[in-house]
Amino acid sequence: MVPVATDVGSLFDLASLLLDVAETSLNQTPALAPDLSYVSPGAPPIQCCPVLTVHVQSLSEGSTSPLAPAPATGRRTSFQRINLAGLVVTVMRCGPQIQKDGSVLAADAQDVAEQVAADGWALWNGLRFAIEEGAFLDKCSVIHVDQGQAVAEQGGCVGWLFRLRAEIGGMPGWGTT
């Protein structure tokens, strides 16, 4: 598949599209997508909830030589350079209320668990459906959902991190494709 040509705004555009897909997915849950949602300049602080963010975590090159080990970077110019953008979707919900004695009511914890499970399943399916339907093809060549990982309670919030990897074209005239 031929990589889509890009410009300096393409990576942000991809992150914005991913945010739109995540919002659509979470709007299938009982609590809907959080009102606070944005493309973050880096990993978001886990201090307010509910919140939905997308950020670019990394840029790297993928292996291109058939059967080549991942560190075979010296041969990439013989085949093709593949730019990989690592993106992260973060959704956080408020955790169960802590009682004055420091305990948590089981019913509150279960309600939060139900919403967080719905968020994870909605994102997993929504992201995969969007990929299968070609939602990202005008921004990148290929995108993969690498992993969805539950986030332990932090600052009164619980939720999910979804890591994705996208093959994104280089900027014409800058020596990459």
Q: 7 versus 38: which is more confidently predicted? A: 38
List the domain boundaries for the chain.
10-62+82-97+104-168
129 pLDDT more than 80: yes
Q: What is the pLDDT of residues 147-168, one digit of tens each?
A: 999 998 888 899 999 999 999 9
121 pLDDT more than 50: yes
* Residue 93, φ and ψ in degrees, nearest 5: -120, 160
Residue with tokens 């973060």: 90
The band of 176, judged by pLDDT with boundaries at 50, 70 and 90, is: very low
The band of 169, judged by pLDDT with boundaries at 50, 70 and 90, is: confident
Q: pTM for the complete prediction?
A: 0.86
- Tell me the pLDDT of the chain averaged across its residues: 88
The SS3 call for residue 164 is strand
Q: Which helix (H) or strand (E) holds 112?
A: helix 106-132
User: What would the CATH number be for the domain defined by 10-62+82-97+104-168?
Assistant: 3.30.70
Q: What is the pLDDT of residues 41-79, one digit of tens each?
A: 999 988 778 999 999 999 998 876 565 555 545 554 555
Q: Is 50 within 8 Å of 36 (Cβ atoms)?
A: yes
